[in-house]
Chain A
Protein backbone atom coordinates (compact mmCIF):
# COMPACT_ATOMS: atom_id res chain seq x y z
CA UNK A 1 0.00 0.00 0.00
CA UNK A 2 1.35 3.37 -0.97
CA UNK A 3 2.23 5.98 1.58
CA UNK A 4 2.91 9.07 -0.49
CA UNK A 5 0.62 11.72 0.96
CA UNK A 6 -0.37 12.18 4.59
CA UNK A 7 -2.67 14.30 6.66
CA UNK A 8 -0.42 16.20 9.05
CA UNK A 9 -2.83 18.65 10.67
CA UNK A 10 -6.52 19.13 11.40
CA UNK A 11 -8.36 22.04 12.96
CA UNK A 12 -12.02 22.77 13.40
CA UNK A 13 -14.31 25.32 14.98
CA UNK A 14 -18.01 25.51 15.66
CA UNK A 15 -20.20 22.46 15.09
CA UNK A 16 -23.02 24.38 16.71
CA UNK A 17 -26.57 25.15 15.59
CA UNK A 18 -25.60 28.84 15.53
CA UNK A 19 -22.31 30.74 15.81
CA UNK A 20 -23.39 34.38 16.13
CA UNK A 21 -20.08 35.40 17.73
CA UNK A 22 -18.07 34.79 14.54
CA UNK A 23 -18.46 35.81 10.93
CA UNK A 24 -17.87 32.97 8.49
CA UNK A 25 -14.40 34.40 7.87
CA UNK A 26 -13.60 34.37 11.58
CA UNK A 27 -14.96 30.86 11.93
CA UNK A 28 -12.64 29.71 9.14
CA UNK A 29 -9.70 31.57 10.66
CA UNK A 30 -10.19 29.81 14.00
CA UNK A 31 -10.17 26.41 12.29
CA UNK A 32 -7.18 27.36 10.13
CA UNK A 33 -4.93 28.55 12.93
CA UNK A 34 -5.69 25.36 14.89
CA UNK A 35 -4.88 23.16 11.88
CA UNK A 36 -1.61 25.00 11.20
CA UNK A 37 -0.62 24.70 14.85
CA UNK A 38 -1.54 21.02 14.75
CA UNK A 39 0.65 20.55 11.66
CA UNK A 40 3.41 22.82 12.99
CA UNK A 41 3.43 24.90 9.82
CA UNK A 42 3.28 28.61 9.00
CA UNK A 43 0.75 29.14 6.19
CA UNK A 44 2.59 32.17 4.85
CA UNK A 45 5.94 30.38 4.57
CA UNK A 46 5.23 26.67 4.35
CA UNK A 47 1.90 25.98 2.65
CA UNK A 48 2.25 26.07 -1.11
CA UNK A 49 -1.31 25.65 -2.26
CA UNK A 50 -4.83 26.01 -0.86
CA UNK A 51 -8.10 24.40 -1.87
CA UNK A 52 -11.48 25.47 -0.54
CA UNK A 53 -14.96 24.17 -1.26
CA UNK A 54 -18.10 26.27 -1.42
CA UNK A 55 -21.40 26.62 -3.25
CA UNK A 56 -22.34 30.21 -4.15
CA UNK A 57 -26.08 29.76 -3.51
CA UNK A 58 -25.32 28.49 -0.02
CA UNK A 59 -22.93 31.35 0.70
CA UNK A 60 -25.26 33.99 -0.74
CA UNK A 61 -22.29 35.50 -2.60
CA UNK A 62 -21.39 34.93 -6.22
CA UNK A 63 -17.84 33.91 -7.13
CA UNK A 64 -17.23 32.97 -3.52
CA UNK A 65 -13.62 31.94 -4.11
CA UNK A 66 -12.74 35.63 -3.85
CA UNK A 67 -13.69 35.57 -0.18
CA UNK A 68 -11.51 32.74 1.08
CA UNK A 69 -7.77 33.55 0.86
CA UNK A 70 -7.19 36.06 3.67
CA UNK A 71 -8.55 34.06 6.59
CA UNK A 72 -6.47 31.06 5.47
CA UNK A 73 -3.15 32.86 5.05
CA UNK A 74 -3.49 32.31 1.30
CA UNK A 75 -3.32 35.88 -0.02
CA UNK A 76 -1.25 36.06 -3.21
CA UNK A 77 -0.60 32.31 -3.09
CA UNK A 78 -1.90 29.53 -5.37
CA UNK A 79 -5.45 28.73 -4.35
CA UNK A 80 -8.78 27.80 -5.85
CA UNK A 81 -12.30 26.94 -4.79
CA UNK A 82 -14.32 24.03 -6.09
CA UNK A 83 -18.03 23.39 -5.84
CA UNK A 84 -18.07 20.10 -3.99
CA UNK A 85 -17.91 18.40 -0.64
CA UNK A 86 -14.82 18.82 1.53
CA UNK A 87 -13.65 15.35 0.53
CA UNK A 88 -13.59 16.49 -3.11
CA UNK A 89 -11.37 19.34 -1.96
CA UNK A 90 -9.14 16.95 -0.03
CA UNK A 91 -8.81 14.67 -3.05
CA UNK A 92 -7.92 17.67 -5.22
CA UNK A 93 -5.12 18.66 -2.83
CA UNK A 94 -3.97 15.03 -2.68
CA UNK A 95 -3.74 14.89 -6.47
CA UNK A 96 -1.79 18.16 -6.56
CA UNK A 97 0.79 16.72 -4.16
CA UNK A 98 0.93 13.40 -6.01
CA UNK A 99 1.51 15.19 -9.29
CA UNK A 100 4.36 17.25 -7.84
CA UNK A 101 2.63 20.65 -8.06
CA UNK A 102 3.21 21.24 -4.35
CA UNK A 103 4.45 19.47 -1.25
CA UNK A 104 2.18 21.00 1.40
CA UNK A 105 -1.44 21.97 0.80
CA UNK A 106 -4.35 23.08 2.97
CA UNK A 107 -8.02 22.27 2.40
CA UNK A 108 -10.93 24.21 3.88
CA UNK A 109 -14.69 23.63 4.12
CA UNK A 110 -17.28 25.41 6.22
CA UNK A 111 -20.96 25.86 6.93
CA UNK A 112 -22.83 28.93 8.09
CA UNK A 113 -26.15 27.18 7.70
CA UNK A 114 -27.67 29.35 10.43
CA UNK A 115 -27.21 32.40 8.19
CA UNK A 116 -29.36 30.92 5.42
CA UNK A 117 -32.95 31.83 6.11
CA UNK A 118 -34.42 29.85 3.20
CA UNK A 119 -32.25 26.72 3.11
CA UNK A 120 -35.01 24.49 1.73
CA UNK A 121 -35.57 26.99 -1.10
CA UNK A 122 -31.88 26.93 -1.94
CA UNK A 123 -31.99 23.12 -2.01
CA UNK A 124 -35.16 23.25 -4.12
CA UNK A 125 -33.21 25.27 -6.66
CA UNK A 126 -30.97 22.28 -7.32
CA UNK A 127 -33.92 20.51 -8.96
CA UNK A 128 -34.62 20.54 -12.68
CA UNK A 129 -36.46 23.82 -13.36
CA UNK A 130 -38.69 22.43 -16.11
CA UNK A 131 -39.65 18.98 -14.88
CA UNK A 132 -39.27 18.86 -11.09
CA UNK A 133 -39.51 22.33 -9.55
CA UNK A 134 -43.05 23.09 -10.77
CA UNK A 135 -44.47 20.54 -8.28
CA UNK A 136 -43.11 22.65 -5.41
CA UNK A 137 -42.57 19.67 -3.11
CA UNK A 138 -40.37 20.19 -0.07
CA UNK A 139 -36.95 18.90 -1.29
CA UNK A 140 -36.89 16.18 1.40
CA UNK A 141 -39.43 14.35 -0.76
CA UNK A 142 -36.44 12.94 -2.67
CA UNK A 143 -35.15 11.32 0.51
CA UNK A 144 -38.65 9.95 1.09
CA UNK A 145 -38.70 8.36 -2.38
CA UNK A 146 -35.24 6.90 -1.95
CA UNK A 147 -35.90 5.62 1.55
CA UNK A 148 -39.17 3.95 0.50
CA UNK A 149 -37.50 2.06 -2.35
CA UNK A 150 -34.46 1.07 -0.28
CA UNK A 151 -36.56 -0.22 2.60
CA UNK A 152 -38.68 -2.18 0.12
CA UNK A 153 -35.66 -3.81 -1.52
CA UNK A 154 -33.59 -4.43 1.62
CA UNK A 155 -36.53 -5.66 3.71
CA UNK A 156 -35.78 -3.30 6.53
CA UNK A 157 -38.16 -1.02 8.37
CA UNK A 158 -38.33 2.57 9.58
CA UNK A 159 -37.67 1.10 13.04
CA UNK A 160 -34.31 -0.17 11.75
CA UNK A 161 -33.53 3.37 10.66
CA UNK A 162 -34.45 4.55 14.14
CA UNK A 163 -31.65 2.31 15.43
CA UNK A 164 -29.22 4.35 13.32
CA UNK A 165 -30.53 7.58 14.80
CA UNK A 166 -30.26 6.18 18.31
CA UNK A 167 -26.70 4.93 17.76
CA UNK A 168 -25.35 8.09 16.16
CA UNK A 169 -26.91 10.49 18.60
CA UNK A 170 -25.64 8.38 21.48
CA UNK A 171 -22.17 8.34 19.90
CA UNK A 172 -22.36 12.12 19.75
CA UNK A 173 -22.66 12.23 23.52
CA UNK A 174 -19.02 11.10 23.67
CA UNK A 175 -17.91 13.73 21.14
CA UNK A 176 -17.39 17.16 22.73
CA UNK A 177 -17.61 18.75 19.26
CA UNK A 178 -21.04 17.28 18.47
CA UNK A 179 -24.03 19.46 19.43
CA UNK A 180 -26.79 16.93 18.82
CA UNK A 181 -25.83 14.19 21.27
CA UNK A 182 -28.85 12.65 23.01
CA UNK A 183 -29.78 9.34 24.57
CA UNK A 184 -33.09 8.75 22.82
CA UNK A 185 -35.37 5.80 23.39
CA UNK A 186 -36.47 4.13 20.16
CA UNK A 187 -40.12 5.01 20.68
CA UNK A 188 -39.17 8.68 21.01
CA UNK A 189 -37.45 8.54 17.62
CA UNK A 190 -40.38 6.79 16.01
CA UNK A 191 -42.97 9.03 17.60
CA UNK A 192 -42.00 11.95 15.39
CA UNK A 193 -43.77 13.87 12.65
CA UNK A 194 -43.37 12.42 9.15
CA UNK A 195 -41.69 14.79 6.69
CA UNK A 196 -41.93 12.65 3.56
CA UNK A 197 -43.19 9.24 4.67
CA UNK A 198 -41.48 6.94 5.51
CA UNK A 199 -38.96 9.65 6.39
CA UNK A 200 -39.54 11.11 9.85
CA UNK A 201 -38.25 14.38 11.22
CA UNK A 202 -36.01 12.46 13.63
CA UNK A 203 -34.27 10.71 10.70
CA UNK A 204 -32.89 13.98 9.34
CA UNK A 205 -29.58 15.59 10.36
CA UNK A 206 -30.19 19.13 11.57
CA UNK A 207 -28.13 22.02 10.17
CA UNK A 208 -25.05 23.24 12.00
CA UNK A 209 -22.32 25.84 11.58
CA UNK A 210 -18.66 24.93 11.54
CA UNK A 211 -15.36 25.20 9.72
CA UNK A 212 -12.65 22.61 9.15
CA UNK A 213 -9.12 22.94 7.80
CA UNK A 214 -6.89 19.99 6.94
CA UNK A 215 -3.17 20.13 6.08
CA UNK A 216 -1.71 17.52 3.71
CA UNK A 217 1.94 16.90 2.92
CA UNK A 218 4.11 14.71 0.75
CA UNK A 219 5.85 11.77 2.43
CA UNK A 220 9.22 13.44 2.96
CA UNK A 221 7.64 16.58 4.45
CA UNK A 222 5.06 14.64 6.49
CA UNK A 223 7.68 12.55 8.21
CA UNK A 224 9.68 15.63 9.14
CA UNK A 225 6.63 17.43 10.53
CA UNK A 226 5.03 14.78 12.70
CA UNK A 227 5.51 11.36 14.22
CA UNK A 228 1.91 10.51 13.50
CA UNK A 229 1.17 11.19 9.82
CA UNK A 230 -2.14 9.70 8.73
CA UNK A 231 -1.62 8.20 5.30
CA UNK A 232 -4.05 8.48 2.43
CA UNK A 233 -4.16 4.98 0.97
CA UNK A 234 -6.84 5.50 -1.62
CA UNK A 235 -9.27 8.08 -2.98
CA UNK A 236 -12.33 7.79 -5.20
CA UNK A 237 -15.12 9.98 -6.44
CA UNK A 238 -18.09 9.52 -8.71
CA UNK A 239 -21.29 11.20 -9.91
CA UNK A 240 -24.42 9.57 -11.27
CA UNK A 241 -26.90 11.49 -13.44
CA UNK A 242 -28.94 14.29 -11.85
CA UNK A 243 -32.13 12.98 -13.38
CA UNK A 244 -34.68 11.87 -10.77
CA UNK A 245 -36.66 9.86 -13.30
CA UNK A 246 -33.92 7.40 -14.27
CA UNK A 247 -32.30 6.78 -10.91
CA UNK A 248 -31.70 3.38 -9.42
CA UNK A 249 -33.63 4.40 -6.31
CA UNK A 250 -32.78 1.33 -4.25
CA UNK A 251 -29.01 1.56 -4.70
CA UNK A 252 -26.16 4.07 -4.68
CA UNK A 253 -24.05 3.04 -7.69
CA UNK A 254 -22.01 6.24 -7.52
CA UNK A 255 -20.95 5.38 -3.94
CA UNK A 256 -20.01 1.89 -5.08
CA UNK A 257 -17.93 3.24 -7.99
CA UNK A 258 -16.17 5.79 -5.78
CA UNK A 259 -15.41 3.09 -3.22
CA UNK A 260 -14.13 0.65 -5.84
CA UNK A 261 -11.75 3.32 -7.11
CA UNK A 262 -10.41 3.90 -3.59
CA UNK A 263 -10.22 0.17 -2.74
CA UNK A 264 -8.30 -0.50 -5.96
CA UNK A 265 -5.74 2.15 -5.16
CA UNK A 266 -5.46 1.00 -1.55
CA UNK A 267 -5.17 -2.64 -2.72
CA UNK A 268 -8.10 -3.69 -0.59
CA UNK A 269 -9.89 -6.75 -1.98
CA UNK A 270 -12.24 -7.48 0.91
CA UNK A 271 -13.21 -4.17 2.50
CA UNK A 272 -15.39 -5.75 5.18
CA UNK A 273 -12.28 -7.48 6.54
CA UNK A 274 -9.78 -4.67 6.09
CA UNK A 275 -11.68 -1.61 7.25
CA UNK A 276 -11.60 -1.18 11.05
CA UNK A 277 -14.16 1.62 11.22
CA UNK A 278 -15.97 4.00 8.90
CA UNK A 279 -17.46 7.46 8.92
CA UNK A 280 -20.18 7.42 6.28
CA UNK A 281 -22.96 9.65 5.04
CA UNK A 282 -25.93 9.77 7.41
CA UNK A 283 -27.65 13.02 6.43
CA UNK A 284 -30.74 10.84 6.57
CA UNK A 285 -30.62 7.77 8.81
CA UNK A 286 -31.48 5.34 5.99
CA UNK A 287 -28.54 6.73 3.98
CA UNK A 288 -26.09 5.24 6.49
CA UNK A 289 -27.48 1.78 5.73
CA UNK A 290 -27.63 2.37 1.98
CA UNK A 291 -24.07 3.66 2.01
CA UNK A 292 -22.76 0.66 3.97
CA UNK A 293 -24.27 -1.67 1.38
CA UNK A 294 -22.94 0.43 -1.51
CA UNK A 295 -19.47 0.51 0.06
CA UNK A 296 -19.45 -3.27 0.19
CA UNK A 297 -19.10 -3.30 3.97
CA UNK A 298 -22.22 -5.44 4.37
CA UNK A 299 -24.80 -7.10 2.14
CA UNK A 300 -28.47 -6.17 2.07
CA UNK A 301 -29.66 -9.43 3.59
CA UNK A 302 -27.16 -9.26 6.44
CA UNK A 303 -28.32 -5.75 7.31
CA UNK A 304 -31.41 -6.40 9.50
CA UNK A 305 -29.58 -8.88 11.75
CA UNK A 306 -26.44 -6.72 11.86
CA UNK A 307 -28.53 -3.81 13.09
CA UNK A 308 -30.21 -5.85 15.80
CA UNK A 309 -26.87 -7.32 16.91
CA UNK A 310 -25.28 -3.87 17.19
CA UNK A 311 -22.56 -4.61 14.64
CA UNK A 312 -22.15 -0.88 13.90
CA UNK A 313 -22.07 0.29 17.53
CA UNK A 314 -18.91 1.65 19.10
CA UNK A 315 -18.29 -1.76 20.65
CA UNK A 316 -19.45 -3.67 17.58
CA UNK A 317 -17.52 -5.50 14.91
CA UNK A 318 -17.56 -2.53 12.51
CA UNK A 319 -18.07 0.79 14.32
CA UNK A 320 -19.81 3.32 12.10
CA UNK A 321 -19.97 7.06 12.70
CA UNK A 322 -18.26 7.07 16.08
CA UNK A 323 -18.21 10.87 15.76
CA UNK A 324 -22.00 10.88 15.92
CA UNK A 325 -22.10 11.38 12.17
CA UNK A 326 -24.15 14.16 10.68
CA UNK A 327 -27.08 13.14 12.88
CA UNK A 328 -24.90 13.93 15.91
CA UNK A 329 -22.55 16.64 14.64
CA UNK A 330 -25.13 18.36 12.47
CA UNK A 331 -25.46 18.85 8.74
CA UNK A 332 -22.41 20.96 7.96
CA UNK A 333 -23.32 21.26 4.27
CA UNK A 334 -20.13 21.15 2.16
CA UNK A 335 -18.07 20.50 5.32
CA UNK A 336 -19.73 17.15 6.10
CA UNK A 337 -16.98 15.07 4.53
CA UNK A 338 -14.17 16.84 6.37
CA UNK A 339 -16.03 16.59 9.70
CA UNK A 340 -16.05 12.82 9.26
CA UNK A 341 -12.44 12.87 8.11
CA UNK A 342 -11.41 14.67 11.30
CA UNK A 343 -12.93 11.82 13.33
CA UNK A 344 -11.03 9.24 11.27
CA UNK A 345 -7.76 11.13 11.78
CA UNK A 346 -8.33 11.38 15.54
CA UNK A 347 -9.19 7.67 15.77
CA UNK A 348 -6.09 6.65 13.80
CA UNK A 349 -3.90 8.94 15.91
CA UNK A 350 -5.38 7.57 19.12
CA UNK A 351 -6.72 11.02 20.06
CA UNK A 352 -10.48 10.37 20.04
CA UNK A 353 -10.97 10.58 23.80
CA UNK A 354 -13.81 8.54 25.30
CA UNK A 355 -14.84 7.16 21.92
CA UNK A 356 -11.34 5.94 21.02
CA UNK A 357 -11.14 2.47 19.47
CA UNK A 358 -8.32 0.08 20.39
CA UNK A 359 -5.57 0.40 17.82
CA UNK A 360 -7.49 0.96 14.59
CA UNK A 361 -5.29 0.75 11.48
CA UNK A 362 -7.54 1.56 8.54
CA UNK A 363 -10.54 3.86 8.43
CA UNK A 364 -12.88 4.77 5.60
CA UNK A 365 -14.58 8.13 5.11
CA UNK A 366 -17.45 8.63 2.66
CA UNK A 367 -19.47 11.72 1.88
CA UNK A 368 -22.46 12.70 -0.22
CA UNK A 369 -23.44 16.23 -1.25
CA UNK A 370 -27.03 15.78 -0.11
CA UNK A 371 -30.29 15.90 -2.01
CA UNK A 372 -30.83 15.99 -4.90
CA UNK A 373 -27.23 15.10 -5.82
CA UNK A 374 -25.72 11.79 -6.81
CA UNK A 375 -22.23 12.88 -5.90
CA UNK A 376 -19.99 10.82 -3.63
CA UNK A 377 -16.39 10.76 -2.50
CA UNK A 378 -14.44 8.14 -0.56
CA UNK A 379 -11.08 8.37 1.20
CA UNK A 380 -9.25 5.52 2.91
CA UNK A 381 -6.82 6.40 5.66
CA UNK A 382 -4.24 4.45 7.62
CA UNK A 383 -2.29 5.08 10.79
CA UNK A 384 1.47 5.17 10.86
Chain B
Protein backbone atom coordinates (compact mmCIF):
# COMPACT_ATOMS: atom_id res chain seq x y z
CA UNK B 1 0.00 0.00 0.00
CA UNK B 2 1.24 3.46 -0.84
CA UNK B 3 1.56 5.30 2.48
CA UNK B 4 2.64 8.55 0.82
CA UNK B 5 0.17 9.79 -1.82
CA UNK B 6 2.77 12.17 -3.27
CA UNK B 7 5.35 9.48 -4.08
CA UNK B 8 4.28 6.80 -6.56
CA UNK B 9 5.29 3.40 -5.26
CA UNK B 10 4.99 0.02 -6.99
CA UNK B 11 5.05 -2.99 -4.73
CA UNK B 12 6.97 -6.04 -5.97
CA UNK B 13 6.21 -9.67 -5.33
CA UNK B 14 8.34 -12.79 -5.72
CA UNK B 15 6.29 -13.59 -8.83
CA UNK B 16 7.35 -10.31 -10.43
CA UNK B 17 10.93 -11.59 -10.30
CA UNK B 18 10.19 -15.13 -11.43
CA UNK B 19 7.90 -13.90 -14.23
CA UNK B 20 10.59 -11.56 -15.59
CA UNK B 21 8.80 -8.30 -14.76
CA UNK B 22 11.95 -7.14 -12.95
CA UNK B 23 15.24 -7.37 -14.82
CA UNK B 24 18.24 -8.70 -12.97
CA UNK B 25 21.18 -10.97 -13.61
CA UNK B 26 22.39 -13.83 -11.48
CA UNK B 27 26.01 -14.89 -11.47
CA UNK B 28 28.01 -17.42 -9.52
CA UNK B 29 31.74 -17.31 -8.92
CA UNK B 30 33.65 -20.54 -9.47
CA UNK B 31 36.55 -19.72 -7.16
CA UNK B 32 38.51 -22.77 -6.08
CA UNK B 33 41.82 -22.79 -4.25
CA UNK B 34 44.21 -25.41 -2.87
CA UNK B 35 46.54 -23.69 -0.43
CA UNK B 36 49.99 -25.10 0.23
CA UNK B 37 50.21 -25.69 3.97
CA UNK B 38 53.97 -25.07 4.04
CA UNK B 39 56.51 -26.07 6.67
CA UNK B 40 54.91 -24.96 9.93
CA UNK B 41 51.19 -25.48 9.35
CA UNK B 42 51.99 -28.63 7.38
CA UNK B 43 53.78 -30.02 10.44
CA UNK B 44 50.91 -28.93 12.69
CA UNK B 45 48.27 -30.63 10.55
CA UNK B 46 50.48 -33.72 10.23
CA UNK B 47 50.74 -33.75 14.02
CA UNK B 48 46.97 -33.61 14.41
CA UNK B 49 46.64 -36.57 12.06
CA UNK B 50 48.99 -38.41 14.39
CA UNK B 51 47.03 -37.29 17.44
CA UNK B 52 49.49 -34.72 18.78
CA UNK B 53 49.53 -30.96 19.07
CA UNK B 54 52.77 -29.29 17.95
CA UNK B 55 54.15 -25.86 18.72
CA UNK B 56 57.36 -24.03 17.78
CA UNK B 57 60.00 -22.50 20.04
CA UNK B 58 61.59 -19.06 19.63
CA UNK B 59 65.09 -19.19 21.09
CA UNK B 60 65.29 -15.38 21.23
CA UNK B 61 61.97 -14.64 22.95
CA UNK B 62 62.08 -18.02 24.76
CA UNK B 63 58.47 -18.74 24.07
CA UNK B 64 56.46 -21.54 22.53
CA UNK B 65 53.56 -20.83 20.20
CA UNK B 66 50.93 -23.03 18.64
CA UNK B 67 50.04 -23.46 15.84
CA UNK B 68 53.74 -23.44 14.97
CA UNK B 69 55.31 -20.93 12.61
CA UNK B 70 58.73 -20.50 11.00
CA UNK B 71 59.23 -16.89 12.10
CA UNK B 72 58.63 -15.18 15.41
CA UNK B 73 56.40 -12.19 14.73
CA UNK B 74 57.95 -10.24 17.63
CA UNK B 75 61.71 -10.63 17.09
CA UNK B 76 61.58 -11.79 13.41
CA UNK B 77 64.05 -14.59 14.11
CA UNK B 78 63.44 -18.07 12.68
CA UNK B 79 61.59 -20.64 14.82
CA UNK B 80 63.12 -23.91 13.76
CA UNK B 81 62.40 -26.20 16.71
CA UNK B 82 59.06 -28.00 16.87
CA UNK B 83 57.87 -29.15 20.30
CA UNK B 84 55.12 -31.55 21.22
CA UNK B 85 52.51 -30.08 23.56
CA UNK B 86 49.79 -31.59 25.73
CA UNK B 87 46.27 -31.93 24.38
CA UNK B 88 44.93 -30.10 27.38
CA UNK B 89 44.54 -26.42 28.09
CA UNK B 90 42.49 -23.59 29.49
CA UNK B 91 39.69 -21.49 27.98
CA UNK B 92 41.00 -17.99 27.26
CA UNK B 93 37.69 -16.72 25.92
CA UNK B 94 34.50 -18.18 24.48
CA UNK B 95 31.14 -17.27 23.04
CA UNK B 96 27.73 -18.95 22.80
CA UNK B 97 26.58 -18.70 19.19
CA UNK B 98 22.86 -19.04 18.52
CA UNK B 99 23.15 -18.29 14.82
CA UNK B 100 25.00 -20.59 12.39
CA UNK B 101 27.43 -19.37 9.72
CA UNK B 102 24.61 -19.48 7.17
CA UNK B 103 22.33 -17.42 9.41
CA UNK B 104 20.07 -20.12 10.82
CA UNK B 105 18.89 -19.65 14.39
CA UNK B 106 19.59 -22.63 16.67
CA UNK B 107 18.45 -23.39 20.20
CA UNK B 108 21.56 -25.31 21.31
CA UNK B 109 24.45 -22.90 20.83
CA UNK B 110 27.76 -23.64 19.18
CA UNK B 111 30.63 -22.73 21.52
CA UNK B 112 33.74 -21.35 19.80
CA UNK B 113 36.61 -20.83 22.21
CA UNK B 114 40.27 -19.87 22.20
CA UNK B 115 42.15 -22.57 24.09
CA UNK B 116 45.52 -21.82 25.66
CA UNK B 117 47.36 -25.09 25.18
CA UNK B 118 49.35 -26.55 28.07
CA UNK B 119 53.07 -26.32 27.33
CA UNK B 120 52.71 -23.23 25.13
CA UNK B 121 53.63 -19.83 26.51
CA UNK B 122 50.82 -17.94 28.28
CA UNK B 123 48.30 -16.49 25.87
CA UNK B 124 49.18 -18.93 23.09
CA UNK B 125 46.76 -21.45 21.68
CA UNK B 126 44.19 -21.76 18.95
CA UNK B 127 40.56 -21.43 18.10
CA UNK B 128 38.42 -24.51 18.52
CA UNK B 129 35.08 -25.41 20.03
CA UNK B 130 33.75 -26.75 23.32
CA UNK B 131 31.49 -29.79 23.54
CA UNK B 132 29.90 -32.22 26.00
CA UNK B 133 28.83 -29.39 28.28
CA UNK B 134 25.82 -27.28 29.18
CA UNK B 135 26.37 -23.75 27.81
CA UNK B 136 25.75 -22.30 31.26
CA UNK B 137 28.72 -24.20 32.67
CA UNK B 138 31.37 -22.85 30.29
CA UNK B 139 33.64 -20.23 31.84
CA UNK B 140 36.89 -18.43 31.19
CA UNK B 141 39.78 -20.32 32.74
CA UNK B 142 37.97 -23.68 32.48
CA UNK B 143 40.37 -26.62 32.09
CA UNK B 144 39.71 -28.62 28.91
CA UNK B 145 41.04 -31.59 26.95
CA UNK B 146 40.88 -32.43 23.25
CA UNK B 147 38.42 -35.08 22.09
CA UNK B 148 39.99 -36.63 19.02
CA UNK B 149 38.44 -38.29 16.01
CA UNK B 150 39.26 -41.98 15.75
CA UNK B 151 42.77 -42.36 14.24
CA UNK B 152 41.45 -43.96 11.05
CA UNK B 153 39.23 -40.94 10.37
CA UNK B 154 41.86 -38.25 10.96
CA UNK B 155 43.04 -36.54 7.78
CA UNK B 156 45.40 -33.74 8.88
CA UNK B 157 42.83 -31.06 9.59
CA UNK B 158 42.00 -28.80 12.54
CA UNK B 159 38.78 -30.81 12.76
CA UNK B 160 40.79 -33.96 13.61
CA UNK B 161 40.07 -32.67 17.11
CA UNK B 162 36.29 -32.94 17.37
CA UNK B 163 36.08 -30.45 20.26
CA UNK B 164 37.47 -29.76 23.71
CA UNK B 165 35.63 -31.02 26.75
CA UNK B 166 35.77 -30.00 30.38
CA UNK B 167 38.44 -31.78 32.39
Chains A and B belong together in one complex: yes
Q: Which residues of A contact B (CB under 8 A)?
A: 19-26, 29, 33, 36, 42-44, 57, 60, 69-71, 73, 75, 112, 114-118, 121-122, 125, 129-130, 133-134
Nearest Cβ on chain A to B10's Cβ, whole angstroms: 22
Contact A23 B41 (CB under 8 A): yes
* A23-B74 in contact (CB<8A): no
A125–B31 alpha-carbon span in the complex (Å): 10
Residues of A within 8 A of B73 (CB): 69-71, 73, 75
Bound Cα distance A118, B69 (Å): 28
Q: 1/0 contact trace for B61-94 toward A, CB 8 Å?
A: 0000000011101111000000000000000000
The distance in angstroms between the C-alpha atoms of A57 and B40, with both chains bound, is 25
Contacts of A44 in B (CB 8 A): 74-76
Q: Is the CB of B40 within 8 A of A23?
A: yes
Is the CB of B132 closer than 8 A to any CB of chain A?
Answer: no
The 6 closest A-B pairs by CB, nearest first: A23-B38, A70-B73, A60-B33, A117-B32, A73-B76, A121-B30
Assess the B70–A26 pair: CB atoms within 8 A.
yes
Interface flag for B36 (CB, 8 Å): yes
Flag whether B29 is at the interface (Cβ < 8 A). yes
CB neighbours of B36 from chain A (8 A): 19-24, 112, 114-115
Q: Report 14 cross-chain contacts, Cβ distance below 8 Å, ordered by A residue.
A: A20-B36, A21-B38, A22-B38, A23-B37, A23-B42, A26-B38, A36-B76, A60-B33, A70-B73, A112-B35, A115-B34, A117-B32, A118-B31, A121-B31
| Interface: B21 (CB within 8 A) | no
Query: What is the bound-complex CA distance between A43 and B72, given in angstroms?
Result: 12
Inter-subunit contact B71/A71 (CB<8 Å): yes
- Interface size for chain B: under 10, 10 to 19, 20 to 34, or 35 or more residues? 20 to 34
Assuming the contacts A26-B40, A130-B25, A133-B27, asked whether A115 and B35 have C-beta atoms less than 8 A apart, the reply is yes
Q: Provide the B97-128 mask, 1 if CB < 8 A to any CB of A, else 0.
A: 00000000000000000000000000000000
Q: Which residues on the B side are within 8 Å of A117 (C-beta)?
A: 32-34
Interface on B for A, CB 8 Å cutoff? 25, 27, 29-42, 69-71, 73-76
Selected from B27, B34, B39, B75, the residue in CB contact (under 8 A) with A22 is: B39
By beta carbon, the residue of chain B nearest A125 is B29
Interface residue from B27, B29, B31, B38 paired with A25 (Cβ < 8 Å) = B38
Least Cβ–Cβ distance between B72 and chain A, in angstroms: 9
Residues of B within 8 A of A60 (CB): 31, 33, 35
In the assembled complex, the Cα of A125 lies from the Cα of B29 at a distance in Å of 7
Q: Are B70 and A29 in contact (CB under 8 A)?
A: yes
Known: A60-B33, A117-B33; 7 extra A-B contacts, CB below 8 A, are A20-B36, A23-B36, A23-B37, A23-B41, A73-B76, A125-B29, A130-B25
Q: How many Å lie between the Cα of A166 and that of B35 in the bound state?
A: 33
Q: How far is the CB of B32 from chain A (nearest CB, A)?
A: 4
Residues on A with beta carbons closer than 8 Å to the beta carbon of B37: 23
The distance in angstroms between the C-alpha atoms of A2 and B62, with both chains bound, is: 46
Closest A residue to B71 by beta carbon equals: A29
With CB as the reference atom, state the residue of chain B lying closest to A133: B27
**Contacting residues, chain B, for A19 (C-beta < 8 A):** 36
Residues of B within 8 A of A57 (CB): 31
Residues of B within 8 A of A121 (CB): 29-31
With a cutoff of 8 Å between Cβ atoms, the chain B residues found around residue A129 in the complex are 25, 27
| Most B CB within 10 A of own CB, among A23, A70, A121 | A23
A29 to B42, CA, bound (A): 16
Q: How far is the CA of A114 from the CA of B38 in the complex (A)?
A: 13
Q: Which residues of B contact A116 (CB under 8 A)?
A: 32-33
Chain B min CB distance to A217 (Å): 18
Bound CA–CA A114/B75 (angstroms)? 30
Inter-chain contacts of A42 with B (CB < 8 A): 76
Residues of chain A within 8 A (CB-CB) of B41 are 23
Q: Which residues of B contact A71 (CB under 8 A)?
A: 71, 73
CB-CB < 8 A to B70: which residues of A? 26, 29
> How many angstroms from the CA of A130 to the CA of B23 in the assembled complex?
11
- Report B-chain residues with C-beta under 8 Å of the C-beta of A43: 76
Find out whether the CB atom of B25 lies under 8 angstroms from the CB atom of A134. yes
Min distance, Cβ A46 to any Cβ of chain B, angstroms? 11
Docked CA distance A133–B25 (Å): 10
Residues of A within 8 A of B39 (CB): 21-23, 26
